[in-house]
Amino acid sequence: MSKEFTILYFASARDAVNISSEIISFPSTSSSLSLQDLTNLLKNRHENLGKVLENSMFAINMQYVDKDDESIMVKPGDEVAIIPPVSGG
């Protein structure tokens, strides 16, 4: 199994990174990532994403995850969605 996961960017997150999805390899030696590690990894990859990430909801495999829950890990093959609130109407 390849040690990769997919990130889906929605709304202002997609605008900030200019792509709607990307496949990311786990950093060497690890095959899982905490949500805090994921946040740091994404911030380093995309300089414009920081502020958006703080207010976004995360979902793994289309299921909401609590960003403060340290037991939640991103695993190979997971699809992580970054969903910022849309306010307009």
Partner 1 sequence: MIPSQTDKNEYEKLFELCSKLRDENEQLKNRVKQLESQLICLHSLTKVNSKPINVHSDLNVKSETTSKLRNDNKLSLEEYLRYGRQLILPGFGISGQLKIKNKSILIVGAGGLGAPAAIYLAAAGVGNLGIIDYDSVESSNLQRQIIHNESRIGLSKAQSAKMTIQGLNPLCECVAYDLLLDSSNALDIIKKYDIVVDATDNAATRYLINDACVLTGKPLVSGSALRMDGQLAVYNYRGGPCYRCIFSKPPPPETILNCDDGGVLGVVTGVIGCLQALQAIKIAADMNDDGISQSLLIFSANSNPLFRSIKLRSKKPDCVICSNNPTITTLQDYVQFCGSGALDKSPSVKLLGDDERVDPKSYHALRAKGIPHILVDVREPVQFDICNLPGSLNIPLNELSKKVDLIQQSLPSSVAPVYVICRRGNDSQLAVQTLRKTLQGEIKDVVGGLYRWAKDVDHEFPIY
Q: Is 45 in the site for partner 1 (CB under 8 A)?
A: no
| Nearest residue to 67 via CA among 28, 29, 31, 38 | 38
Which of 25, 30, 44, 55 forms a contact with partner 1 (CB under 8 A)? 55
Beta bridge partners of 82: 9, 58
Contact indicator for 55, 31 with CB cutoff of 8 Å? no
88 — phi, psi (to 5°)? -70, 170
Query: Per rule CB under 8 A, is residue 24 in the interface with partner 1?
Result: no
Using the rule CB under 8 A, is 57 a contact of partner 1? Answer: yes
Q: Which residues bind partner 1 (CB under 8 A)?
A: 10-12, 15, 20, 48, 51-52, 54-55, 57, 59, 62-64, 66, 81, 83-89
